[in-house]
Amino acid sequence: MKSETPKIMKENSYAHVSGESVFTDDRPLLPNEVFVDFVASSVAYGNIKGIDTSKLQQFPSVIAFYTAKDLQQNLFGGVICDQPLLADKQVTFIGQPVVIIAAKDRNVLREAKQAVKLEIEELPAVISIEEAMKSNSLYASPATIERGDVVAAFEKAEHVSSGVFTCNGQEHYYFEAQAAIAYPVDGECLEIHASTQNPSEVQHDVASMLGIAQSQVVCVVKRIGGGFGGKETQNAPFAQMAALVAYKTKRPARIVLSRDNDILCTGKRHPFTNHYKIGFTSEGQILAYEVDLKANGGAYADLSTAVLARAMLHSENTYSIENVRITGRVFRTNLAPNTAFRAFGAPQGVATIEQAIEEIACFLKKDPLEIRLRNLYGTPPRHITPYGQTFSNNVLPGIINHLLERANYQERRVEIANFNKSSSTHLRGLSLMPIKFGISFTNATLNQGSALVNVHQDGSIQVSTGAVEMGQGVNTRIAEAVADVFSIPVACVKLMSTSTEKIHNTSPTAASASADLNGNAAILAAKRIRERLAHCAVAMLSGETGESDLLHQERAIQNITFAEGFVFDCSSSHFQNKISFSDLLHYAWKSRVGLGEQAYYKTPGLWFDREKGIGNPFQYYTQGAAVSEVQIDRFTGQIDFLSTDIVMDVGESQNAQLDKGQIAGAFIQGLGWCTLEELVYSHKGRLLSCTTGTYKIPGIREFPQHFTIELFGNPHQSSGLKNSKGIGEPPFVLGLSVWIAIKNALANVSPEGARTLKLPATGEEIMRVLNLN
């Protein structure tokens, strides 16, 4: 197991706790600032017959309002440019913006919204995947990943099982609602402060909508109060609204959504309905696996095709299957456009194969772990994924073996079996589930990052990157990496606001890759500065100010060491004196040596051919496993989360506290998706669970009574930032271990019911299964 690194406090921890940290809506109001909101459709699908704004004249505080005809460009989109900022002739989901209103007073703004009347001819809405399948309304042509001969393998299989996996969506429920403030600057320019994971997209979408150059728009992000993918694309329309008002009125404009409105009009995690078929032997060896993934994309494409791609690329999870066919489609419905969410489709793909494995074990009357171990990725030739990438650096066997011993898995299996036989009121279930999660954007273009490093004469350093700090600690990781280059305290390194003026063409902060991309760029920039400083150190320590022999210079530079705020030569007897880092910087400045550097980094070796379904889409895989135990009340369906033990491969951990925090947070969020967080829609497409009283997220009661996290040492990892691994998303998938444990418990009394268990496994869903017995 990995020994933990010294504890380094996450940047701004004290400021967060004390309330001093400034988020978007905390920025002071300017004297002439206006507030922005929008009138939205109350109909999921219909034709706009009229927009009556005449009563807005009754509100002197209202200074402007806009409809689609006022926009230079009305379409935007993360992958496909198909979503209007303002509905024009037709509305396609409840909560879709139709009219933008700006007022000097927030209370008046709320009243003014009610005064606008929309005349909409309501049409039959399509809400579910099943309804969408009838019209076969797709966002792109179906995608396929295939390996081996599935048809022949099914014919040879001793047993074949088939089924359906169904999962609901999930609300992001970030702390800070969608928000943006736009400031007019120098006539025709705008500075936008937005709660976004994607500053460059905000910049580009605003410029396109206004018909101005991208260089006229600067997007600045100091920090955001959580994103989880919900602010990767979906902050852009609200930033556009503020920008439109600011540009037209020449006044600062602010938009901050209410919690209820945020939930109502923004997209969620994609619901999936997956049909699968699996062929296997009497020993549990999987011979063939076929799965058809169907995602509910909502009213516009957003990132749905990319989400589907990752779901497909994770559909075999950690299992080597020789014959596989994975197909996928995204259907158009009349829900708010579904979007990125932590783990980005992977859980929907992983859950399906895990359900199939549970069914194999139930049919063969074997421990599901036996089936998992029998089919686990291993040494050649059992190391090639269905899409042709080599699964290298596989530490899953070691992780699982360690977890088996740590969690006393076999002993607990026996104890649980005895408990279920003796208890007439409760059921218990146990599961051990492994994961492998590919780290990189599946769109190879996005795997790039830049950084600007400015070293000041007092030894302090400013670093600007394209990464957005949203609570995950990316700024702390990058600060540690830069401090390590110069061997100075982390406190000397300050991460600046993310700004498209300093770092342009940024990739979104997502995919668990932002520390790798932006951190490696920062290290490259810092190393170039350090190399120049090493030349200065040779001159200072030797007293040689003139030109010397090049070979002599190079040898001398190799002996220059940066350590604990000092610089010295570690080889020559006449290089005994050490100099402070700040003295060296003063010397460099006087010698006209550049102390700033911008660097660019791109992840090498990535490619994927969507048409052929083959490629090398990931830089590496983060791996892990969890053992979870639950107890279910037979009469109420209430779940008690008894225990979870997690072991995660994080490569060479640079900050164990950050890693463990990300693992715990991701797992609990995954547990919520699997058991509590139910999105309920009316048959007309209205989200009924859109308030804090109707949508339940995990609280202290859902925290496992016994909960441990251990970092698995993996010294052979060399791809991520300083040999570490991305950890923000992978542990989310381990939340499925709780859902599988519930299935395991229910199988004791209702095997057929356990097969049909939906996700989330709420108390109502559990009672449905129990009543099937």
pTM assigned to the model? 0.96
Buried b vs exposed e over 483-501: b needs ≥16 C-beta within 10 Å? bbbbebebebbbbbebbbe
The DSSP letter of residue 24 is: G
The pairing of beta strand 217-221 with beta strand 426-439: unpaired
Question: Is-catalytic flag, 678?
Answer: no
* Contact predicate 747/682, CB 8 Å: no
Q: What is the three-state SS of 458-491?
A: CCCEEEEECCCCCCCCHHHHHHHHHHHHHCCCHH
pLDDT at 525: 98
H or E element in which residue 324 lies:
strand 323-332
User: Are residues 372 and 491 part of one domain?
Assistant: no
**pLDDT tens digits, residue range 683-736?**
999 999 998 889 999 999 999 999 999 999 888 877 799 999 999 999 999 999
Please give the structure tokens belonging to residue 352: 């399906």
Does the bond joining 698 to the residue before it have cis omega, within 30 degrees of 0? no
141 within domain boundaries:
no
Cα–chain-centroid distance for residue 450?
20
User: Are residues 580 and 689 part of one domain?
Assistant: no
User: Are residues 286 and 246 part of one domain?
Assistant: no
Alpha-carbon dihedral of residues 459, 464, 469, 473, nearest 10 degrees? -40
Give the CA radius of gyration of the chain. Answer: 28
Give Cα separations from 338 to 230, 233, 263, 307, 444 (angstroms).
Answer: 9, 10, 12, 10, 22
User: Are residues 238 and 91 part of one domain?
Assistant: yes
What is the side-by-side order of every strand in the sheet holding 46-52?
90-91, 46-52, 117-122
User: Are residues 103 and 245 part of one domain?
Assistant: yes
pLDDT at 6: 53
CB atoms within 10 A of CB 611: 8
695 within domain boundaries:
yes
pLDDT at 739: 98
165 within domain boundaries:
no
Please give the structure tokens belonging to residue 72: 């230079």
Q: What is the CATH number of the domain that holds 115?
A: 3.90.1170.50
pLDDT at 716: 80
Specify the number of domains making up the chain: 3
628 within domain boundaries:
yes
Distance CA 302, CA 427 (A): 42
170 within domain boundaries:
no
Please give the structure tokens belonging to residue 26: 């905390």
2 within domain boundaries:
no
User: Are residues 226 and 292 part of one domain?
Assistant: no
Q: Is 566 exposed, middle or buried (0-12, 13-18, 19+ CB in 10 A)?
A: middle
pLDDT at 541: 86
User: Are residues 762 and 669 part of one domain?
Assistant: yes
pLDDT at 11: 81
* Domain end call among 549, 570, 602: 602
130 within domain boundaries:
no
Nearest Cα neighbor of 249 from 257, 241, 239 is 241
Residues in the chain: 773
Q: Residue 113 phi/psi, 5° resolution?
A: -60, -40
* Domain end call among 583, 602, 621: 602
User: Are residues 627 and 589 part of one domain?
Assistant: no
pLDDT at 549: 57
User: Are residues 295 and 382 part of one domain?
Assistant: yes
186 within domain boundaries:
yes
User: Are residues 196 and 114 part of one domain?
Assistant: yes
User: Are residues 593 and 461 part of one domain?
Assistant: yes
Q: What is the CATH number of the domain that holds 636?
A: 3.30.365.10
pLDDT at 32: 97
User: Are residues 438 and 299 part of one domain?
Assistant: yes
Domain that holds residue 730: 272-442+609-770
Does the bond joining 84 to the residue before it have cis omega, within 30 degrees of 0? no
**pLDDT tens digits, residue range 290-349?**
999 999 999 999 999 999 999 999 999 999 999 999 999 999 999 999 999 999 999 999
* Ranges under pLDDT 70 in the chain: 1-7, 544-553, 572-576
* Domain end call among 579, 602, 625: 602
Q: Which of 316, 322, 629, 729 is catalytic?
A: 729
Give Cα separations from 516 to 398, 445, 532 (angstroms).
Answer: 25, 15, 24
pLDDT at 575: 47
